Structure 1
Amino acid sequence: METDCTTPAPLPPGTRLLHIGPHKTGTTAIQGALFAAKGRLPEWGVEFPAHTRHPMEAALAACARPAMMGDTAPTGRHWGRLLEQVAATGGRTSVISSEFFADADGDATIARIVEELGGDRVHVLVTLRPLVKIMPSQWQQYVQNGLRMGYADWLEHMLRKPPYEKPNPSFWHRHRHGLLVERWARAVGPERVTVVVVDDRDRGGLLRTFEALLGLPENLLQPVPDTANRSLTLAETEMLRNLNVEFRGNGLPDELYSRLVRGGAVLHMKNACSPEPGDVKIVTPYWAARAAAEIGAESAGRIAALGVRILGDPALLSALPGHPEPGPAEPRIAPEVAARALYGALAAVASAAGGGAPARTVHQTSSKDLLRVLGHRCLKRLGRR
């Protein structure tokens, strides 16, 4: 094992750096920064071959995983197109990043992905954060994909109810980090695996690590604001979770959920509303934080025994929060936030019906006016139908 807290040496020129996540470990920040710098990277012999910030469909197709609830299923064309873009980079270093590669199931699938990306040119990069910080973020993300279970019950199932696979079997496949690194090390060899332990106290540290590995000048990669990827507050998540209960209880189609809820209400709520300091956060109870820390320590030990390169402090993976467990708090959704979410759903309906969007932007118009205009348009169109 090589553990290094100093600046890492660049990877060999021509490397195909495969960043596999997993989820909630800074993947969106890296993808956004790389995509924003896409035009400048070739000056330094580096390419970001994807045509979008995150080639999610290609990764899902490569791993034979389903799309998110109600989304169009990815096909081999998505993966084939990304492979063509990677091949076009020739002998230059290229970066392929998707947290959904962590969902690859089985040695045969991983070996095929590695071979198709370039075989011995592939270097696998895994970014890791403490489980105690990942769990609340993943729960609210699962709620955005239709989950109806509350956080306390979800923790019970994930940590106390063997085989710990319900309601989200993907969670431990992604986040038993020792097993995740081990699967990919078997495919490429430990000498071609780098594990980066993210330190949340160093906000730019992950970007600087990528710059060093790719041989880029410092500060070329800059953070890109992405409100659409922010986590929901407890109140927002609970509002959505209760909507999921109603949605499923009435047997509505998944496609409608994708368009109106996730792509309409939730997306607009995230873009238009920023969390306030007084908003109730998703808090992990101490028993669950302690269990997560023990699993993190086990994963750190397993990774250390593999002989892969580790950048950062593995002890962070088993760190417990330094504050006592707070008492229960009642999450309350602000009327403005609820209005924005409702507007997002109405705007999605209007767009699907060909009604377009209001002439003024949402930042120029009050929620009351937006709701009145969109509601009138939708009702009028529905009446004609």
Structure 2
Amino acid sequence: METDCTTPGPLPNGTRLLHIGPHKTGTTAIQGALFAAKETLPRYGAEFPAHSRHPMEAALAACARPAMMGDTAPTDRHWARLLKQVRATGGHTSVVSSEFFADAPDGATVERIVGQLGGDRVHILVTVRPLAKVMPSQWQQYVQNGLRMGYEDWLEHMLRKAPYEQPNPSFWHRHRHDRLVERWSRAVGPERVTVVVVDDRDRGGLLRTFESLLSLPAGLLRPVPDTANRSLTLAETEMLRNLNVEFRGNGLPDELYSRLVRNGAVMHMKNACSPTARDVRIATPRWALEAAAAIGAEAAERIEGMGVRLLGDPALLSAVPEQAEPEQAVPAKAGLVPDGARIAPEVAAQALYGALAAAASVPARPAQARGVHQTSSRELVRVLGHRCLKRLRRR
């Protein structure tokens, strides 16, 4: 079994490499680097056929999964378009990458996806990280999609409360790595599955692995900065989580959340504000780190026995990280946030501005004069944002 993450043997020409993630394992970095090199790849017999950095809608449609909260539901048209682009690559090696393929609900769906992509030509690539690294990143991502539960409560449900499915059933479906590898291995055979254990200490390692698999020259794939994909700090996540509580408590529509909160306030805040050394990070309590390491050890042992190509050090999956500094190690409980984890005024201002700008970008529709109590929440927010921006421009 191969265990060298830097120099794996290249895939056969004409392979259709399907990178299924899962989430929080370097997928965005790979997608950004491949898309940036899209015009150069054909010189070396490789293609990145997607029309965007991340063909998320196509993957969701292929897996028959719903869109993110409030977003427009994907259709089969998205998946059919990507399949057409893959087929157009001919004898070149093509790469399709989306972490949402890890959400394929069952073996029948996996087999259908593999068959539509080319059957025997398909090779599956799974990137895995230690659960201790994944859990805080995944929690704050769930919060960005409307979750209202604090981090420590969420960990209790994921690790201690059987059947470990609430409030996010997708977590273990994605991140029980041995079961994920097993599902896809059954569809293509272990000889056509590569599992890469991502080592955060080697930031360029994953890019080099893709270069080797695709027979690309060293250094062709380069990191592409993407502030929109950064994780939230503890203070930012807690601000958003409390907003989610108010949002749900007042029964506002999901479409409003998608437009004004996730794609307005949060997106602008992440683009405009970078975390500093003073920001308190999301820290995982010791008991959860040890539980995650035990699950990682079991998953690593099972993957090693599956006969798939394993690149990297599987021992990383069972390592317990060093304990953080005391002032940095306080987890987020409901209603309890460390004193140092307070949102900075400029960050709050950028989030508010993002929401207002998103509201103002929606064209106002002519309507008869109505009182405030006769107007929907969505229209009130849009009108308020438009008026505020108009006054600011006048100043």
Name the TM-score, length of structure 2 as normaliser: 0.90
Distance 1:25 1:212, change over 3 A: same
- The whole-number CA distance in structure 1 between the counterparts of 2:67 and 2:324 is 39
Alignment length, in residue pairs? 364
Residue 325 of structure 1, CA deviation = 6.3
- The whole-number CA distance in structure 1 between the counterparts of 2:165 and 2:117 is 31
Instruction: Name the residue aligned to 2:61.
Output: 61
Residue 143 of structure 1, CA deviation = 0.2
Distance 1:14 1:21, change over 3 A: same
Q: Cα deviation per residue 1:203-254 (whole Å; 9 max; x = unaligned)?
A: 1110011000000000000000000000000000000000000000000000
Instruction: Name the residue aligned to 1:253.
Output: 253
Q: Cα deviation per residue 1:316-342 (whole Å; 9 max; x = unaligned)?
A: 011111235625333100000000000
2:158 is the counterpart of 1:162: no
Instruction: Name the residue aligned to 1:301.
Output: 301
Match of 2:357 among 329, 342, 347: 347
Instruction: Name the residue aligned to 1:368.
Output: none
Instruction: Name the residue aligned to 2:335.
Output: none
- Tell me if structure 2 keeps the 8 A contact 1:286–1:325: no
- Tell me if structure 2 keeps the 8 A contact 1:343–1:374: no
Q: Cα deviation per residue 1:272-309 (whole Å; 9 max; x = unaligned)?
A: 00001110000000000000000000100110110000
Distance 1:225 1:200, change over 3 A: same
- The whole-number CA distance in structure 2 between the counterparts of 1:26 and 1:354 is 40
Residue 377 of structure 1, CA deviation = 3.7
Distance 1:322 1:349, change over 3 A: same
Write the letter of the residue equivalent to 1:8: P
Instruction: Name the residue aligned to 1:135.
Output: 135
Match of 2:94, SS? strand
Structure 1, 78-87 or 327-336: larger mean CA deviation: 327-336
Q: Cα deviation per residue 1:347-375 (whole Å; 9 max; x = unaligned)?
A: 001101369xxxxxxxxxxxxxxxx9965
Instruction: Name the residue aligned to 1:262.
Output: 262
- Tell me if structure 2 keeps the 8 A contact 1:102–1:180: yes
Unaligned runs of 5+ in 2: 331-337, 366-383
- The whole-number CA distance in structure 2 between the counterparts of 1:87 and 1:250 is 48
Give me the CA root mean square deviation: 1.6
- The whole-number CA distance in structure 2 between the counterparts of 1:280 and 1:343 is 23
- Tell me if structure 2 keeps the 8 A contact 1:208–1:218: yes
Write the letter of the residue equivalent to 1:257: Y
Distance 1:332 1:6, change over 3 A: closer
Write the letter of the residue equivalent to 1:376: C
- Tell me if structure 2 keeps the 8 A contact 1:181–1:303: yes
- The whole-number CA distance in structure 2 between the counterparts of 1:116 and 1:105 is 17
- The whole-number CA distance in structure 2 between the counterparts of 1:161 and 1:106 is 24
- The whole-number CA distance in structure 2 between the counterparts of 1:305 and 1:165 is 27
Instruction: Name the residue aligned to 2:326.
Output: 326
Q: Cα deviation per residue 1:129-148 (whole Å; 9 max; x = unaligned)?
A: 00000000000000000000
- Tell me if structure 2 keeps the 8 A contact 1:4–1:311: yes
Match of 1:352, SS? coil
Unaligned runs of 5+ in 1: 356-371, 381-385
- Tell me if structure 2 keeps the 8 A contact 1:50–1:82: yes
Q: Cα deviation per residue 1:181-212 (whole Å; 9 max; x = unaligned)?
A: 00000000000000000110011110011000
Instruction: Name the residue aligned to 1:336.
Output: 346
- Tell me if structure 1 keeps the 8 A contact 2:130–2:316: yes
Instruction: Name the residue aligned to 1:216.
Output: 216
Match of 1:306, SS? coil
Residue 105 of structure 1, CA deviation = 1.0
- Tell me if structure 1 keeps the 8 A contact 2:5–2:196: no
Indicate the percent of aligned positions where both proteins have the same amino acid: 79
Instruction: Name the residue aligned to 1:203.
Output: 203
Write the letter of the residue equivalent to 1:21: G
Distance 1:219 1:354, change over 3 A: farther
